[in-house]
Structure 1
Amino acid sequence: MFRVFFLWLMVFSGVILTSAQSNPETLQLLDKAYKSLYENPDNAFQILQNIDENKESELIKQRVKIILSRAYNFKGEYAKSIEQSIDKNLNENRNDNNSLYADYALAQQYQSLRLYKQSIRISQNLADKASKIKSQNYPENLMAYIYQLNASNLMVQKKLKEAEENLKQSNALLKDSDEDFLISIENQIYQTFIYITQNQIDKAENIVNEIEAKLNKSPQYIFLRAFNLDNLGRIYFLKKDYARSAEHLNKALELIQNSSYDPLKNRIYDDLSKNYLALKNDELYQKYYSIYKEQADKLDQNKKEALRNLIKLNEQYETKRLENSHNNFVSNILIISVACLIGILAVIFISISEKRKAKSIQKQIDFYSKQQNFIKKIDENKTVVESKVGKIDPDISKKTPLISKEKEADILSRLEEFEKSEKFLNRDMSLAVLAGQLETNTKYLSEVINKYKEKNYNNYINELRINYIAYLLKTDSAYLNYKVSYLAEKAGFSSHSAFTTVFKSVTGISPNTYIQQLTQNKQ
């Protein structure tokens, strides 16, 4: 149940990153705005209004945007966060000095939208550049943030030892500033998630208590205090001490009730509903589950809008890049024409060279045109599937293959890794989103699923979800007490009826019948 919560925390990490060449008053405002993220994100907007960006360097502008982006993420306004942090990232003329900040922000945005492959690629590249960053007089806490980001991505890949090593490298760069104190607390929270993943509950509880003792000396950081109390509540839930778990969760909710930390509140609502369900308090379960469901729908809608904006911005960048490439090609053709005056041999040589460039550019254009299908499908609520399901054309070997054997094998390997994860439980997991995570396009992915899984995408993803829920019901008796509506939500279905229909089509019986059979067997 803790599988993706460390990723969620990463969305809210802020970064100021000091510079000796910056105005001291500006740095004080940046420091104050950063700390306000953990006190009340709305205050950050007011503080940053006092900075005249027109008089500041490009790096200061980058830092302002990063703090604004994090403030919107705290509030659950992911689309506005994208608008703040990504525009500079898509400027191909950016220099090396500010590209580091921009790449860091872009990796965080990819992670917040669950595009982990893209985030991992950037964060690992940044971590590899850590030694160069230091030589370029970048602040050490920037490097600490990069190691922290890379650690969270390694946790997604279940490379827990490497993640711990990155957290140690991050901690080693911290000093005694307020910002470094907050980074250290976040690193401890990541370590808590690692211990929970390893089922070392006692170690996780010790760290949570240590964090609480530190934060009691800085009570203004209500976000981290509430987050830590929520983690403590989750630990007691795993210990099946539901009453004590609910006590800590209510304390966490009380801390931030009047603040705009909507994603954190929703996380707590979800945890409270599960506790009251376990305590068989149906009234409070219904109350908190209803609030959680309503808020989750709003946050999911905002994430979808943010994803559309991100794809649109990348599309604009790709279009501009291809236009520049084409213009360069035209310029080269003109150069060839002038070179023809030199001699026939020179003309032939240059023409051959330019034809090769033309083919290369055409390949880029063809590739980009194929990506338009991916972009359009993000806006669709449902994936259009073929009417013929689970059948392979017996003459498929006679047809011209749409995908190379190497690419086909690569996609199939990535699909197998996907099946080992729990990402298919994501309600937003469409064919287009999965294609983006597997770094391919919808056409190739659909072809591989139809050919090797012998079913279309919808049947494939639904069968994974049903098998997962059936496994939980069989191995964890607690799930036998949950309502079918909760199981549907857990499995990533949009409604109780859709879940029931698919469950019966996969298993041959309804969810209630299946639960009754398991209950009787256990008795």
Structure 2
Amino acid sequence: MVVSGVILTSAQSNPETLKLLDKAYQSLYENPDNAFQILQNIDVNKEPELIKQRVQIILSRAYNFKGDYAKSIDQSIDNLNKNRNENNSFYSDFALAQQYQSLRLYKQSIRISQNLVDKASKIKSQHYPENLSAYIYQLNASNLMVQKKWKEAEENLNQSNSQLKNTDEDFIISIENQIYQTFIYISQNQIDKAEKLVNEIQKKLEKTPQYVFLRAFNLDNFGRINFLKKDYVKSTENLNQALELIQNKAYDALRYRIYEDLSKNYLALKNEDLYQKYYSIYKEQTDKLDKNKKDAIRNLVKLNEQYEAKRIENADRNFINNILIIAIVCFVGILAIVLMNLFEKRKAKSIQKQIDFYSKQQDFIKKIDESKTVIEPKSEKIEPDISKKTPLISKEKEMDILARLEEFEKSEMFLNRDMSLAMLAGQLDTNTKYLSDVINRYKEKNYNNYINELRINYIAYLLKTDSAYLNYKVSYLAEKAGFSSHSAFTTVFKSVTGISPNTYIQQLTQNKQ
């Protein structure tokens, strides 16, 4: 039997344990529930430290596939508790970066994954499998994709592929890399390339039909491609095939994604009954996953404390900055939890009135076409505002925060319903006081008005440039924009544009006719 590279074979490793690890890893893509059963046959107390870590990572990933992020975090906590040796920290760092990414805390994940890439050359000199480097480059590539750094993401995917050999696990990694490449093509509107690559992946997976997760994920991409081509019937067929593959499998997170895509297709096909059916399922799954993510963030605070304690215990001079980073992340995590709870209890309050929306929207569309950004600071409005109030920070720091805000506006991360001032401050490497001051003076509004106007301008832009959105329900547009309810979205939309969403859609429809 060819060892798939799950763990580097050594004299201390039991061959039967390695076979079980191979089987458990492959079962992640067949049915995560099987991975739990297989790993129960491994007595980790009798195994080397690296195998113990690998068992914990497989368990953590199985829970992520199921959409149970809270339990996945618990596994990472257990991993950190048992891993105190700095020479064996790559696995725990990698696992922590994965956890941040699954919870959409991209800034923290990017920081760790980039640090791992910088240290990737050290991995070969230690007792790690070579494909750990492949995983690290893959994780960093996905983080770069969040930042829309497509060229750098492709370079990392190529680096990941260069670490692979002819093993079962490496085959899975290579397919995942191709799926990421498909995302890049779709995001850059290179539909022909995306479709060609999806077909190549499908042919490869025909030889390994047991990997239903990869097959379903690829079919979901196929559905998205056909949706962009406005072939809604074919897109629906792709998505239903994907759903059928995982219908009785524990892939809740992927299933939720497919339900969302199906609801869009049935809406485009004007099938109201099926649209309502799948949108209701999607909404129910969204609420369930959101609750689970909040529980996971609470556990993540505990994980941060364990991670910081481990760093202090190792007492390495290079860890001073990491300790400060973990402390900041822990503080931001606690603030995020508090603000999310407050956010749920509040309704949207007064938002800036009498905005010349249509004039601003023309400027907004022009800027999107020219620079792919959402909203840019207007130089003629900066000077009057600055003179009204003494800056809290230096001009250089202000410009740095403004530049980071512009990148945030390009990322569409403002559509995340959990995006709070504290979370945004953490992602921009500043604090809430400085960020609020910059937004107030340069954007001429408070944080809530700033984030809501970004969302409304984005939805208004989609409605004006993509006729498919004119057929969507206002409830879907509200969900897309990151609002907690239909009524909140309608209130904010009218306060920004001066008219209701339905009236705006009617006007656009009449203009097109």
Which TM class, normalised by the smaller chain length? 0.7 to 0.9
% identical equivalent positions: 77
Please tell me whether residue 68 in structure 1 is matched to residue 59 in structure 2: yes
Contact 2:6 2:22 (C-alpha < 8 Å) held by counterparts = yes
Mapping of 1:135-214 within 5 angstroms? 135-214=125-204
Q: In structure 1, which of residues 408, 413, 418 is the aligned counterpart of residue 403 of structure 2?
A: 413
Q: In structure 2, which of residues 400, 416, 422 is the aligned counterpart of residue 432 of structure 1?
A: 422
- Which stretches in structure 1 are left out of the alignment for 5+ residues? 1-13, 326-359
Measure, in 2, the Cα distance between the counterparts of 1:463 and 1:227.
34
Output one character per residue of 1:132-170: Cα deviation in whole Å (capped at 9) or x when no partner: 222334321111111111111222222222222221221
Q: Which moved more, 1:439-448 or 1:168-177?
A: 439-448
Measure, in 2, the Cα distance between the counterparts of 1:372 and 1:166.
29
Contact 2:297 2:337 (C-alpha < 8 Å) held by counterparts = no
Contact 1:39 1:223 (C-alpha < 8 Å) held by counterparts = yes
Please tell me whether residue 295 in structure 1 is matched to residue 256 in structure 2: no
Structure 2 counterpart SS, 1:212: helix
Contact 1:466 1:491 (C-alpha < 8 Å) held by counterparts = yes
- Give, in angstroms, the shift of residue 415 of structure 1: 1.4
Residue 500 and residue 71 in structure 1: after superposition, are their counterparts in 2 closer, same or farther (change >3 A)? same
Please tell me whether residue 380 in structure 1 is matched to residue 373 in structure 2: no
Aligned residue in 1 for 2:37: 46
Measure, in 1, the Cα distance between the counterparts of 2:224 and 2:414.
23
Q: Which amino acid aligns with 1:508?
A: G
Measure, in 1, the Cα distance between the counterparts of 2:334 and 2:233.
50
Contact 2:222 2:235 (C-alpha < 8 Å) held by counterparts = yes
Contact 1:73 1:81 (C-alpha < 8 Å) held by counterparts = yes
Aligned residue in 1 for 2:512: 522
Residue 468 and residue 249 in structure 1: after superposition, are their counterparts in 2 closer, same or farther (change >3 A)? same
Measure, in 1, the Cα distance between the counterparts of 2:187 and 2:337.
37
Output one character per residue of 1:375-422: Cα deviation in whole Å (capped at 9) or x when no partner: 66355241989999889797632xxx6544444333222112111121
Q: Which amino acid aligns with 2:51?
A: I
- Give, in angstroms, the shift of residue 447 of structure 1: 2.5
Please tell me whether residue 509 in structure 1 is matched to residue 499 in structure 2: yes
Contact 2:76 2:303 (C-alpha < 8 Å) held by counterparts = no
- Give, in angstroms, the shift of residue 321 of structure 1: 7.6
Q: Which moved more, 1:226-235 or 1:370-379?
A: 370-379
Q: In structure 2, which of residues 214, 232, 255 is the aligned counterpart of residue 224 of structure 1?
A: 214
Aligned residue in 1 for 2:362: none
Measure, in 2, the Cα distance between the counterparts of 1:394 and 1:385.
33
Contact 2:70 2:299 (C-alpha < 8 Å) held by counterparts = yes
Aligned residue in 1 for 2:318: none
Output one character per residue of 1:318-345: Cα deviation in whole Å (capped at 9) or x when no partner: 58988999xxxxxxxxxxxxxxxxxxxx
Output one character per residue of 1:466-514: Cα deviation in whole Å (capped at 9) or x when no partner: 0111111111111111111111111111111111100000111111111
- Give, in angstroms, the shift of residue 443 of structure 1: 2.7
- Give, in angstroms, the shift of residue 116 of structure 1: 1.4
Aligned residue in 2 for 1:124: 114
Please tell me whether residue 57 in structure 1 is matched to residue 44 in structure 2: no
Q: Which moved more, 1:282-291 or 1:137-146?
A: 137-146
Aligned residue in 2 for 1:483: 473
Contact 2:332 2:422 (C-alpha < 8 Å) held by counterparts = no
- Give, in angstroms, the shift of residue 196 of structure 1: 1.3
Residue 264 and residue 311 in structure 1: after superposition, are their counterparts in 2 closer, same or farther (change >3 A)? same
Q: In structure 2, which of residues 4, 9, 23 is the aligned counterpart of residue 19 of structure 1?
A: 9
Q: Which amino acid aligns with 1:396?
A: K
Residue 454 and residue 188 in structure 1: after superposition, are their counterparts in 2 closer, same or farther (change >3 A)? same
- Give, in angstroms, the shift of residue 18 of structure 1: 2.8
Residue 134 and residue 148 in structure 1: after superposition, are their counterparts in 2 closer, same or farther (change >3 A)? same
Contact 2:7 2:51 (C-alpha < 8 Å) held by counterparts = no
Q: Which amino acid aligns with 2:274?
A: L
Measure, in 2, the Cα distance between the counterparts of 1:499 and 1:387.
12
Measure, in 2, the Cα distance between the counterparts of 1:386 and 1:179.
49
Residue 481 and residue 446 in structure 1: after superposition, are their counterparts in 2 closer, same or farther (change >3 A)? same
Task: Note the aligned Cα RMSD (angstroms).
Answer: 3.1
Measure, in 2, the Cα distance between the counterparts of 1:428 and 1:35.
34
Residue 121 and residue 322 in structure 1: after superposition, are their counterparts in 2 closer, same or farther (change >3 A)? closer
- Give, in angstroms, the shift of residue 192 of structure 1: 1.0
What count of residue pairs does the alignment treat as equivalent? Answer: 470
- Give, in angstroms, the shift of residue 118 of structure 1: 1.5
- Give, in angstroms, the shift of residue 40 of structure 1: 0.7
- Give, in angstroms, the shift of residue 215 of structure 1: 1.2
- Give, in angstroms, the shift of residue 190 of structure 1: 1.0
Measure, in 1, the Cα distance between the counterparts of 2:484 and 2:129.
46
Residue 232 and residue 385 in structure 1: after superposition, are their counterparts in 2 closer, same or farther (change >3 A)? closer
Q: Which moved more, 1:440-449 or 1:301-310?
A: 440-449
Aligned residue in 2 for 1:78: 69
- Give, in angstroms, the shift of residue 285 of structure 1: 0.7
Q: Which amino acid aligns with 1:377?
A: V
Measure, in 2, the Cα distance between the counterparts of 1:372 and 1:102.
19
Q: Which structure has the bigger radius of gyration? A: 1
Contact 1:15 1:142 (C-alpha < 8 Å) held by counterparts = no
Aligned residue in 2 for 1:313: 303
Q: Which moved more, 1:427-436 or 1:296-305?
A: 427-436
Aligned residue in 1 for 2:87: 97
Aligned residue in 1 for 2:356: none
Please tell me whether residue 446 in structure 1 is matched to residue 436 in structure 2: yes
Measure, in 2, the Cα distance between the counterparts of 1:437 and 1:88.
26
Residue 387 and residue 296 in structure 1: after superposition, are their counterparts in 2 closer, same or farther (change >3 A)? closer
Contact 1:15 1:66 (C-alpha < 8 Å) held by counterparts = no
Residue 475 and residue 389 in structure 1: after superposition, are their counterparts in 2 closer, same or farther (change >3 A)? closer
Aligned residue in 2 for 1:396: 389
Contact 1:389 1:454 (C-alpha < 8 Å) held by counterparts = no
- Which stretches in structure 2 are left out of the alignment for 5+ residues? 316-320, 353-383
Q: Which amino acid aligns with 1:509?
A: I
Structure 1 counterpart SS, 2:90: helix
Measure, in 2, the Cα distance between the counterparts of 1:452 and 1:37.
49
Q: Which amino acid aligns with 2:122?
A: K
